[in-house]
Every structure is written in C-alpha cells, then in structure tokens.
Amino acid sequence: MSEGTHNVTGGSVPGGETVPRECAGAYRPSRGRRFWERTKEIVFMIVAVLFLRTFVVQAYQIPSGSMENTLLVGDFLIANKFIYGPPIPFTDFKIPGKEPKRGDVVIFRSPTDNKDFIKRCIALPGEVVEIRDNRVYIDGTYLEEDYVSLKGFSPPEANFGPITVPEGHIFVLGDNRNSSFDSRYWGALDEHRLKGKAEVIHWSWDRRHHRPRLARVGDLIR
C-alpha cells in the first residue's frame, strides 16, 4: 500500500487530511523582497513628510523679540502653509488660497534678504495706514491693538505715513513695535511672499533660565 506524502506547499498529510496554513510553515519573503518593501515604506514616509511640509504645516522657531509678548524668543510654533495658497514646487507660482486678514500673524520671505520673518498683518490692499506716536490709524480710524508692546526707546518710525497699501500687498508690523524691522522700513509686503499663518505654540524654551515654559505649550497665536 502506498503512503501519501506531506506537501508543505499544498498543506496535505498522509490520509488526505488538510493541514492549516499556519501549520504548513510560515512564508518568508526573500531578502531582496524585504529590502524592496522597506524601501517603499521609507520613500512613502519621505514623500508624505515633504508634502506636509510644502503644502500643509511647518514648524518654526522664534529667534528674536520683535513679536513680544505674543511670541517669545525660544517659542516653537506650527504654521498653516495651506491657508494663503501653497507654492507649486520648482515654480514661482502658488495655488490660490484665502486672503490674509487684519490681525493674522504671518510668516513670509523677507523682501530684503529672503529670510523667514514673522509679523502681524495690520493693513490690507487699498487701505491708508498712518502711525502717530506708535498709534496706528487705518483710513483715519484708530486701530485698537491690545497685543502691542512698547519696550525701549521709540524709533523715528513711531511716526509714519500716511501711505496707501498697493493691491496685492499687505502692511505688516511687529508687536514689539520699538524693536521690529517691518513695513515701516521696507514697505508693504507682496502677498506672493507669504508662506503661512502662525497657529499654535507647540514648545517653548526659556534660554535665559534653561527650562521649558510649559504654560505656553498649546497656546493659540492670536
């Protein structure tokens, strides 16, 4: 009488009984296949991170005091890069987005050296902006600003204008009005230079005392 043979691939044993697949031996992909699968995972993660960083969000660190007390040196923030229209990679064009609003804390490429700056949007296209003794007037009406800090001596730019903001531009100022390099010095900002809107502080480090400022973590930027 002939005896059946154990077939690992098909999962059979003598007598014709079926062996469950998990008992038939685990499938072990080849080293080359494992390498390829891992490579695809890594590439996918890199593409996802680049997509998010380019089009959706990006982290920034505050290096100076020009936005005190809204933002402090050592604050780390998340910016929404999608809101004003993300850039199209390898071009000078942007996908259309929302128009900036007065009061938005915006991140942009400086028109003087292409570094990333962060300031507050104060005046919109077509508006007349004037500053008298560090008090801002828009179209002749005083602008209430409860976020302004006036530390140190007032520069000559504490009195400025009036000027009309050109179309496609906004007028930006730092909240720490006496220590900010902003539209008073280099003019209205072309909206094409906008990179995003500051949304939330995700970490804060007090450099002077070498400790975290946990009370600021999670604060929305207004």
In terms of DSSP bridges, do strands 135-138 and 141-142 run parallel, antiparallel, or are they unpaired?
Answer: antiparallel
Average of per-residue pLDDT across 183-212: 93
**pLDDT over 90, % of the chain:** 57
Residues 6+ apart with CB under 8 A from 132: 159
Which residue, 142, 177, 138, 190, is CA-closest to 161?
A: 138
Lowest mean pLDDT among 27-41, 97-111, 148-162, 197-211: 27-41
Q: Is the pLDDT reported for residue 13 higher than 50? A: no
pLDDT of residue 67: 96
Lowest mean pLDDT among 18-32, 74-88, 173-187: 18-32
103 vs 97: which has the higher pLDDT: 103
Average of per-residue pLDDT across 139-146: 96
Average pLDDT score over the chain: 82
pLDDT of residue 19: 43
Domains annotated on the chain, with CATH: 56-216 (2.10.109.10)
pLDDT of residue 107: 94
Which residue, 191, 212, 177, is CA-closest to 70?
A: 177
Tens digits of residue pLDDT in 40-88:
666 555 554 454 555 455 778 888 999 999 999 999 998 988 889 877 7
Q: Please identify every residue annotated as catalytic.
A: 66, 119
The Cα–Cα gap between 23 and 36 comes to 27
Q: How confident is the model at residue 190 (pLDDT cuts 50, 70, 90)?
A: very high
Place of tokens 């005896």: 3
**pLDDT over 70, % of the chain:** 74
Residues 6+ apart with CB under 8 A from 80: 56, 57, 196, 197, 199
pLDDT of residue 143: 97
Q: Is the pLDDT reported for residue 1 higher than 60? A: no
Q: What is the DSSP string of 108-119?
A: EE-TTT--EEEE
Q: Is the pLDDT reported for residue 163 higher than 80? A: yes
Residue 185 CA: distances (Å) to CA of 36, 63, 128, 167, 180: 54, 20, 17, 19, 9
Q: Which tokens is 47 given?
A: 């593409």
pLDDT of residue 9: 28
Q: Is the pLDDT reported for residue 14 higher than 90? A: no
pLDDT of residue 114: 82
